[in-house]
């Protein structure tokens, strides 16, 4: 009788100890669509870019021109925690903005991508 009770207790503890975990992290400031739209090629100056977006996350010199890179990374992780085996899946996407300034400090080109909006929590670590 005692051994059956011990087995049931162990079985119940095994079920209760398992669980799920969610975590999320971001790096960088949000790149707002209306701010990107305010950058006009051939018109916006370096000082205006700095006023609108702040200091760039990365400054890249390119043939006498400056390239300001702004980014925001969004990461989401979902985990299924079992006693013997754990499954986790980490998903990371980024929003990127590159502002290319000519030698006179005027915006020559703006390249932007926004991919973090569709990022979802996923558990199954194999395939999609």
Q: Which two tokens stand for residue 103?
A: 């030698």
Does any domain span residue 73?
Answer: yes
Euclidean distance between CA atoms 119 and 54, whole angstroms: 26
Among 11-25, 35-49, 71-85, 92-106, whose mean pLDDT is lowest?
11-25
Q: What is the pLDDT of residues 107-123, one digit of tens each?
A: 999 999 998 887 877 76
53: burial class by Cβ within 10 Å (0-12, 13-18, 19+)? Answer: buried
Does any domain span residue 124?
Answer: no
Q: How many domains is the chain partitioned into structurally?
A: 1
Q: What does each C-alpha distance from 87 to 12, 21, 75, 82, 99 come to in angstroms? A: 21, 10, 17, 8, 40
Residue 74 has pLDDT above 90, yes or no: yes
Cα 36–chain centre separation: 19
Q: Are 89 and 51 in contact (CB under 8 A)?
A: no
Does any domain span residue 114?
Answer: yes
Among 2-6, 41-45, 54-58, 64-68, whose mean pLDDT is lowest?
2-6
Does any domain span residue 71?
Answer: yes
Residue 125 has pLDDT above 70, yes or no: no
Give backbone dihedrals phi and psi of 78, rounded to 5 degrees, phi first.
Answer: -125, 140
Does any domain span residue 1?
Answer: no
pLDDT on residue 101: 97
């Amino acid at each position: 009788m005692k051994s059956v009770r011990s087995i049931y207790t162990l079985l119940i503890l095994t079920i209760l100890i398992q669980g799920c975990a969610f975590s999320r992290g971001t790096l960088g400031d949000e790149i707002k669509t209306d701010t990107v739209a305010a950058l006009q090629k051939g018109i916006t100056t370096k000082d205006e870019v700095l006023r609108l977006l702040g200091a760039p996350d990365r400054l890249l010199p390119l043939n006498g021109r400056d390239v300001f890179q702004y980014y925001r990374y969004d990461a989401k992780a979902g985990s299924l925690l079992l006693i013997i085996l754990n499954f986790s899946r980490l998903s990371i996407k980024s929003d990127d903005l590159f502002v290319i300034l000519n030698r006179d400090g005027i915006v020559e080109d703006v390249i932007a991508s926004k991919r973090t909006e569709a990022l979802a929590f996923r558990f199954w670590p194999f395939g999609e």
